[in-house]
């Protein structure tokens, strides 16, 4: 593969990279989804709650006019202000709910203060000019113009289709004129909302695609991330080597405690210990081949541990047993004979508890 390919972002983002991007507030998000949600809320609010709030305001207005000669101006202004504040707070609360719901619907619940961290690059005028004339800015500008054009076209087509009805309504009583205007406004809002929902879906799909594209990684980045998270190969190799050294030293410390070392005589060595009070059968305390086998034999000689040459038994023990494990059952008889021989040399008897 050419070296130039190392800089191409051809790999999908790893879960770790996705998690880090999310922690930094980088998510796939479309502002148009929020706008479409607000427009849909207003459409439903007007359709289902418009009559109720309209009648409420109308009753308040009639009550005010009917009792205006008898009302204290301060009381009247206070009542009107209360109605205004309650209505405004209700709308603000509902808009907050809509804003949270549209965001959570896009990328799930996310709370991070990372975007608030000071960033000197944002104060750099050169970077500011680059952002101002970037392809992203041009795209957003074209997208905004296109959205305004489409919404304007929808408004024009709706008004054009009902233009004759509007002219006819001008000769009607004021209540009918007002009713026609309200119906047309609701109709405009309905079509504009449908159009904006379509725009939001398209934009969200684009933002998702653009987000995935930005998160893509080069092969080298994937390798570096793996090294950072899993550890560099040379470090891991050094750790494994150190672990082997510690295990080897610990194993060699057990050789002087062995009852016997069975050898090949030079290529294999297996040290056994038998503790009938704790184990059902003899177990391996150390084993090795070549240099390790020679080291086991050397330590055994230094500590007067009996060494017995049984090539076939030594090879089978090495192949079928692990350090700390009891010997396999098929070797019980052969090992029992060796231990009996060793114990006789030491003037001891093989414990009466039998494992053969």
Average the pLDDT over 180-207 and give the result.
86
One domain for residues 22 and 102: yes
- And the tokens for 39? 């427009």
- And the tokens for 130? 């680059």
CB-CB contact of 123 with 62 (8 Å) = no
CATH number at residue 325: 3.40.1690.10
One domain for residues 196 and 92: yes
One domain for residues 156 and 58: yes
Q: How confident is the model at residue 3 (pLDDT cuts 50, 70, 90)?
A: very low
Q: Domain containing 324: what range?
A: 255-345
How many whole angstroms separate alpha carbon 75 and alpha carbon 64?
11
One domain for residues 210 and 259: no
Average the pLDDT over 82-87 and give the result.
74
Q: How confident is the model at residue 91 (pLDDT cuts 50, 70, 90)?
A: confident
φ, ψ of residue 325 to 5 degrees: the values are -95, 155
φ, ψ of residue 284 to 5 degrees: the values are -85, 125
One domain for residues 57 and 161: yes
CB-CB contact of 356 with 306 (8 Å) = no
Average the pLDDT over 6-30 and give the result.
81
Flag the least confident range among 9-18, 175-184, 185-194, 247-256.
175-184
Rounded mean pLDDT of the chain?
A: 79
Question: Three-state SS string across the chain, please?
Answer: CCHHHHHCCCECCCHHHHHHHHHCCCCCCCHHHHHHHHHHHHHHHHHHHHHHHHHHHHHHHHHHHHHCCCCCHHHHHHHHHHHHHHHHHHHHHHHHHHHHHHHHHHHCCCCCCHHHCCCHHHHCHHHHHHHHCCHHHHHHHHHHHHHHHHHHHHHHHHHHHCHHHHHHHCCCCHHHHHHHHHHHHHHHHHHHHHHHHHHHHHHHHHHHHHHHHHHCECHHHHHHHHHHHHCCHHHHHHHHHHHHHHHHHHHHHHHHHCCEEEECCCCEEEEEECCCCCCCCCEEEEEEECHHHHHHHHHHHHCCCCEEECHHHHHHHHHHCCCCCECCHHHHHHHHHHHHHHHHHCCCCCCCCCCC
One domain for residues 96 and 179: yes
Looking only at Cα atoms, what is the longest distance across the chain?
Answer: 131
How many whole angstroms separate alpha carbon 153 and alpha carbon 76?
44
Q: Which residues contact 342 (CB under 8 A, 6 or more apart)?
A: 259, 260, 306, 308
Average the pLDDT over 194-217 and give the result.
89
**Alpha-carbon Rg for the chain in angstroms:** 43
| pLDDT at 123 > cutoff 80 | no
Average the pLDDT over 2-12 and give the result.
65
The count of structural domains within the chain is 2
Determine, yes or no, domain membership for 96.
yes
Q: Is 194 exposed, middle or buried (0-12, 13-18, 19+ CB in 10 A)?
A: middle
Average the pLDDT over 68-86 and give the result.
64
| pLDDT at 294 > cutoff 70 | yes
pLDDT of residue 121: 62
One domain for residues 176 and 71: yes
One domain for residues 191 and 261: no
The last residue of one of the domains, among 215, 231, 263, is 215
Residue 72 vs residue 226, higher pLDDT: 226
Give the residue among 340, 345, 266, 264 at the shortest CA–CA distance from 305: 345
pLDDT (tens digit per residue) in 228-269:
766 666 667 777 788 788 878 888 888 888 889 999 877 899
Average the pLDDT over 334-340 and give the result.
88
The last residue of one of the domains, among 215, 236, 266, is 215
One domain for residues 301 and 204: no
Flag the least confident range among 38-42, 126-130, 302-306.
126-130
| pLDDT at 75 > cutoff 80 | no
| pLDDT at 4 > cutoff 50 | no
Average the pLDDT over 337-342 and give the result.
87
Q: Which residues pair with 308 in a beta bridge?
A: 262
One domain for residues 26 and 99: yes
pLDDT of residue 233: 67
How many whole angstroms separate alpha carbon 146 and alpha carbon 202?
13
| pLDDT at 17 > cutoff 70 | yes
| pLDDT at 1 > cutoff 50 | no
φ, ψ of residue 347 to 5 degrees: the values are 75, 25
| pLDDT at 319 > cutoff 50 | yes
One domain for residues 160 and 82: yes
One domain for residues 196 and 91: yes
Flag the least confident range among 113-127, 197-211, 293-307.
113-127
Determine, yes or no, domain membership for 189.
yes
Q: Could you tell me how far CA 325 lies from the centroid of its own chain?
A: 42
Residue 156 vs residue 172, higher pLDDT: 156
The last residue of one of the domains, among 215, 238, 271, is 215
pLDDT of residue 2: 43
pLDDT of residue 31: 87
Determine, yes or no, domain membership for 163.
yes
């Amino acid at each position: 593969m050419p070296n130039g390919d190392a800089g191409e972002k051809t790999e999908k983002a790893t879960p770790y990279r996705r998690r880090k991007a999310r922690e930094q507030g980088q998510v796939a998000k479309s502002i148009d989804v929020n706008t479409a949600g607000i427009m849909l809320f207003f459409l439903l609010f007007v359709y289902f709650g418009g009559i109720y709030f309209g009648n409420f305001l109308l009753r308040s207005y009639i009550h005010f006019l009917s009792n205006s000669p008898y009302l204290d101006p301060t009381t009247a202004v206070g009542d009107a202000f209360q109605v205004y504040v309650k209505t405004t707070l209700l709308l603000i609360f509902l808009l907050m709910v809509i804003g949270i719901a549209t965001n959570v619907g896009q990328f799930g619940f996310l709370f991070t203060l990372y975007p608030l961290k000071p960033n000197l690059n944002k104060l750099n005028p050169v970077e500011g000019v680059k952002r101002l004339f970037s392809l992203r800015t041009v795209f957003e500008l074209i997208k905004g113009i296109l959205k305004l054009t489409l919404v304007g076209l929808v408004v024009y087509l709706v008004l054009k289709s009902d233009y004759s009805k509007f002219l006819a309504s001008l000769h009607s009583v004021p209540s009918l004129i007002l009713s026609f205007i309200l119906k047309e406004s609701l109709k405009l809002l309905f079509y504009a909302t449908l159009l904006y929902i379509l725009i939001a879906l398209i934009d969200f799909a684009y933002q998702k695609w653009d987000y995935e594209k930005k998160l893509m990684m080069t092969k080298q980045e994937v390798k570096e991330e793996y090294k950072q998270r899993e550890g560099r190969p040379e470090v891991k190799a050094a750790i494994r080597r150190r672990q082997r050294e510690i295990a080897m030293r610990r194993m060699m410390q057990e050789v002087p405690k062995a009852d016997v070392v069975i050898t090949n005589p030079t290529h294999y060595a297996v040290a056994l210990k038998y503790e009938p009070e704790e184990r059902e059968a003899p177990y391996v305390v150390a084993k090795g081949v070549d240099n390790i086998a020679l080291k086991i034999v050397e330590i055994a000689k230094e500590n007067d541990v009996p060494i017995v040459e049984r090539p076939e038994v030594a090879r089978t023990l090495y192949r079928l047993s692990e350090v700390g494990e009891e010997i396999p059952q098929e070797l019980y008889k052969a090992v029992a004979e060796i231990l009996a021989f060793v114990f006789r040399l030491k003037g001891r008897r093989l414990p009466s508890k039998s494992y053969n």
